């Protein structure tokens, strides 16, 4: 499965009109302009003007992202960049909603048909309590958040996430769909050739774009994905089938699942933990520790911790905490990830953290050399590399 071959189910079933395509292409280009061109100009303004002023005033460089934020907050370039970024975020979802609304009956029908097929499975739990901190916000400014549903077969929010994130990332060459799952799975295959997980669990899988690569790289494994949101999971099953994969999806809270002790050999997640309150992260880690068999691995892709990057990049990354309805983002990144794992029961010396290559934009030899630790991964940013951490049980 690659960028070229992966089927975006919603794009197949809900084709865009010419005008919608033009609008979506505009939003992707606008996002690229904001995240690449304007972002570079903003960094230059920090380095050449704002940081020297800060140092003259305080007699030292800025100590953390918060200090950079305070110094940058009233700079015209930051205000312009931030407003444009916020609007581009809202426009991302608005650019795909009419297309989805128009084709909703076909999308629902596809999800219903998928449930009747013997390829993978879907368990939903209509009684699952959704935490208030999850339902109270439109995370990523996505209207209706992940979970809103209109009736028992609804998939609108799944289609919205799938098509919206395609618009979100497609202007950024380095942010391809499924790239994180592909990179993590191939990293494991290359760095740990003797590790052959028989059961794999993806936490907070959403529509499963980053779940499917594990089924591709470990075809003998049973691959599971869990999420709180029924409409994402309905969509994920149909989407997995459309790409030829049998994946088992279930609606569960990653803090306490119904799988037996030691059931999984590999537990993964991507872009998941920073959306949880930090107390919840701790419960998710304890649950992962319970679910792993001895010798199993928990591995998360996340934004790098605050301690691993410079104050300016912390300021840049933490924008989402203030403006993108991701209130736990900055606090999550301020934690010590090794401590987090240890508190959940993992031995300190079994902790790992590192940057890995992006499989979809790196040639195979370079990717393998990075995976084996023979070469440094590129610096973090726009998907040039991914930060992963976790622990072996
Ligand atoms: C940003 S998305 C993850 C994206 C996805 N992993 C990917 O790579 O495309 C976060 C997901 O976590 C889910 N989620 C949030 N809290 C959860 C919890 N406690 N248990 C399970 N899923 C949760 C949300 O419904 C959402 O689908």
| Mutation choice for ligand 1 from 272, 277, 360, CB with most ligand atoms inside 8 A | 272
User: How far is Cα 55 from Cα 57, in angstroms, rounded to an integer?
Assistant: 5
User: How far is Cα 285 from Cα 340, in angstroms, rounded to an integer?
Assistant: 8
The number of the ligand 1 atom at minimal distance from the alpha carbon of 253 is: 20
The number of the ligand 1 atom at minimal distance from the alpha carbon of 206 is: 27
Tens-digit pLDDT profile for residues 309-367: 999 999 999 999 999 999 999 999 999 999 999 999 999 999 999 999 999 999 999 99
Tell me, what's the pLDDT at 2? Answer: 45
Task: For the domain covering 1-393, report its CATH number.
Answer: 3.40.50.150
Please count the other Cβ atoms lying within 10 Å of the Cβ belonging to residue 232: 28
* Look-up of token digits 């650019």: 95
d(CA 341, ligand 1 centre) in Å: 19
User: How far is Cα 94 from Cα 235, in angstroms, rounded to an integer?
Assistant: 20
Residues in contact with ligand 1 (CB, 6 Å cut-off): 134, 146, 180, 204-206, 209-210, 226-229, 232, 253-255, 270-272, 275-276
Tell me, what's the pLDDT at 171? Answer: 72
User: How far is Cα 246 from Cα 261, in angstroms, rounded to an integer?
Assistant: 23
Tokens of 96: 């795909």
d(CA 24, ligand 1 centre) in Å: 24
Please count the other Cβ atoms lying within 10 Å of the Cβ belonging to residue 214: 26
Please count the other Cβ atoms lying within 10 Å of the Cβ belonging to residue 194: 4
- Are the C-beta atoms of residues 13 and 106 closer than 8 Å to each other? yes
d(CA 227, ligand 1 centre) in Å: 6
Q: Which residues of the chain have pLDDT under 70?
A: 1-6, 173-175
Tell me, what's the pLDDT at 1? Answer: 45
Tokens of 315: 């300021």
The number of the ligand 1 atom at minimal distance from the alpha carbon of 254 is: 20
The number of the ligand 1 atom at minimal distance from the alpha carbon of 181 is: 8
Tokens of 232: 């994402």
The number of the ligand 1 atom at minimal distance from the alpha carbon of 255 is: 19
């Amino acid at each position: 499965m690659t960028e070229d071959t992966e089927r975006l189910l919603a794009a197949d079933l809900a084709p865009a009109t010419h005008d919608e395509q033009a609008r979506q292409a505009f939003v992707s280009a606008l996002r690229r302009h904001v995240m690449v061109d304007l972002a570079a100009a903003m960094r230059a303004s920090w380095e050449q003007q704002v940081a020297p002023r800060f140092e003259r005033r305080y007699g030292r460089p800025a100590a953390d992202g918060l200090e950079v934020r305070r110094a940058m907050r009233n700079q015209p370039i930051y205000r312009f960049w931030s407003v444009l970024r916020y609007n581009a975020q809202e426009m991302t979802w608005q650019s795909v909603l009419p297309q989805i609304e128009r084709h909703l009956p076909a999308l629902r029908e596809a999800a219903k048909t998928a449930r009747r097929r013997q390829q993978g499975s879907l368990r939903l739990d209509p009684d699952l309590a959704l935490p208030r901190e999850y339902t109270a916000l439109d995370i990523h400014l996505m209207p209706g958040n992940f979970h809103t549903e209109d009736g028992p077969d609804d998939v609108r929010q799944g289609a919205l996430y799938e098509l919206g994130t395609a618009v979100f990332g497609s202007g950024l060459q380095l942010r391809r769909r499924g790239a994180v799952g592909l990179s993590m799975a191939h990293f494991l295959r290359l760095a740990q050739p003797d590790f052959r997980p028989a059961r794999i669990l993806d936490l907070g899988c959403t529509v499963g774009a980053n779940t499917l690569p594990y089924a591709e790289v470990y075809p003998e494994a049973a691959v599971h994905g869990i999420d709180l949101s029924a409409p994402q999971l309905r969509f994920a099953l149909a989407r997995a089938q459309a790409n030829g994969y049998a994946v088992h999806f279930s609606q569960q809270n990653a803090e306490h699942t119904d799988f037996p002790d030691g059931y999984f050999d590999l537990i993964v997640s991507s872009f998941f933990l920073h959306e949880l309150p930090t107390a919840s992260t701790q419960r998710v880690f304890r649950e992962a520790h319970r679910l792993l068999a001895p010798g199993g691995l928990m591995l998360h892709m996340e934004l790098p911790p605050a301690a691993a990057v410079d104050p300016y990049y912390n300021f840049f990354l933490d924008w989402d905490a203030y403006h993108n309805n991701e209130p736990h983002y900055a606090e999550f990144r301020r934690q010590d990830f090794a401590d987090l794992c240890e508190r959940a029961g993992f031995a300190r010396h079994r902790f790992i953290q590192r940057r890995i290559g992006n499989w979809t934009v790196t040639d195979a030899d370079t990717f393998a050399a990075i995976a084996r630790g023979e070469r440094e991964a590129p610096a973090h940013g726009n998907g040039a590399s991914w930060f992963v951490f976790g622990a072996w049980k």
